[in-house]
């Protein structure tokens, strides 16, 4: 397995993988999210490939204070083979290279299954509630 930074031409297979992993939502435009992450200097999408084919992906970004991870997904046929852990390790390295002191992410309430995954990687729950408002509707 290899991990590399996504390029614009990776958009379609990456979004298809995110869809297969159940990560997309009707109110988020995953294609636009992919393009915006690549267009900004402070974010990237990292891809895991096995035998040259896409097996997993994660979006990572540094806001100048904390590092955030989004859209972590692994091909359902290739799970429990260490790809998710390798992508998180790559995201951690990406952030460490930018001297980011802490990595964070949001987990949807109904996504209990991933808690065991993150716990296995040494992550613990923070006692915070995230609040948000869409800006693209204004
Ligand atoms: C979560 C996800 C990325 C994990 O990817 P993966 O490649 O299967 O994970 P790994 O093989 O690296 O797992 C590392 C460790 O995490 C734990 N783990 C992973 N999946 C688990 C599961 N479903 N149940 C319990 N523990 C799990 C195990 O300890 C595992 O080590 P082991 O296989 O040696 O026991 C993958 O299941 C996925 O794409 N899920 C759907 C999308 C999603 O929910 N993303 C996260 C959004 S917050």
d(CA 65, CA 38): 20
pLDDT of 131 reads 95
Ligand 1 environment, Cβ below 6 A: 21-23, 72-74, 79-85, 107, 111, 113-114, 116-117, 120
Mutate to test the pocket of ligand 1, among 69, 114, 126 (most ligand atoms within 8 A of CB): 114
Side-chain-facing half-sphere of 10: CA atoms under 13 Å: 25
pLDDT of 68 reads 98
The atom number, within ligand 1, closest to the CA of 75 reads 39
pLDDT of 137 reads 84
- Would you write out the chain's pLDDT as a tens digit for each of its 138 residues? 999 999 999 999 999 999 999 999 999 999 999 999 999 999 999 999 999 999 999 999 999 999 999 999 999 999 999 999 999 999 999 999 999 999 999 998 888 889 999 999 999 999 999 999 999 888
Antiparallel, parallel or unpaired: β 43-50 and 2-5? antiparallel
- Cα 71 to averaged position of ligand 1 atoms, centre (Å): 13
Strand ranges (E), the chain = 2-5, 43-50, 53-62, 67-74, 103-105
Q: What is the Cα gyration radius of the chain?
A: 15
pLDDT of 7 reads 98
The atom number, within ligand 1, closest to the CA of 23 reads 42
Q: Say if residues 48 and 64 touch (Cβ distance below 8 Å).
A: no
pLDDT of 113 reads 85
- The two tokens of residue 12 are 């379609």
pLDDT of 110 reads 84
d(CA 97, CA 89): 12
Contacts for 12-19 with beta carbons within 8 Å, 24 or more apart?
13/54, 14/45, 14/47, 14/54, 14/57, 17/54, 17/56, 17/57, 17/73, 17/75, 18/57, 18/71, 18/73
Domains observed in the chain: 2-120 (3.40.630.30)
């Amino acid at each position: 397995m290899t991990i590399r930074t996504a390029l614009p031409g990776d958009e379609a297979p990456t979004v298809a993988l995110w869809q297969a992993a159940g990560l997309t939502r009707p109110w988020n435009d995953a294609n636009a999210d992919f393009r915006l992450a690549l267009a900004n200097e402070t974010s990237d999408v990292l891809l895991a490939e096995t035998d040259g084919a896409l097996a997993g992906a994660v979006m990572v970004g540094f806001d100048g204070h904390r590092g955030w991870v989004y859209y972590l997904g692994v091909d359902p046929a290739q799970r429990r083979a260490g790809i998710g852990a390798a992508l998180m390790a790559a995201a951690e390295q990406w952030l460490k290279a930018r001297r980011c002191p802490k990595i964070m992410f949001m987990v949807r309430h109904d996504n209990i299954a991933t808690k065991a995954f993150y716990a296995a990687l040494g992550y613990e729950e923070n006692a915070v509630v995230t609040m948000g408002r869409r800006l693209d509707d204004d």
